[in-house]
Amino acid sequence: MDESYPLKITFREMRESGAREIPIYCRDYRCGHHVETNADGWADDVRLSDIGPRFVCERCGQRSAEVRPNFEPAKMGDNPG
Ligand SMILES: [Zn+2]
């Protein structure tokens, strides 16, 4: 299931989508702590899925956070023709 996790995109792609803040959630559901990191601080070729393991929850100490970008998919156009 992890193979299909939709976080293969890079920070460059994410910035191009207009997103600036990335919510990162503690994997421990009992904790529920989350922080937001600024996309500007990461290199273009870093994938979103790469940064989760780097985070350590400052509340409970859990390693490996879950990254949940909240940007909207690109609009492909609603006009029928
Ligand atoms: Zn936590």
- Nearest-CA neighbor of 58 among 21, 23, 26? 26
18: CA distance to ligand 1 center in Å? 28
Nearest Cα neighbor of 24 from 11, 33, 16, 15 is: 33
Judge whether 24 and 70 are in contact, CB under 8 Å: no
pLDDT of amino acid 8: 82
Fill in the DSSP letter of residue 10: B
Environment of ion ligand 1 (residues, CB < 5 A): 26, 28, 31, 33, 57, 59-60, 62
Average pLDDT over residues 54-78: 80
Q: What is the pLDDT of residues 17-52, one digit of tens each?
A: 888 888 899 999 999 999 998 988 899 999 988 999
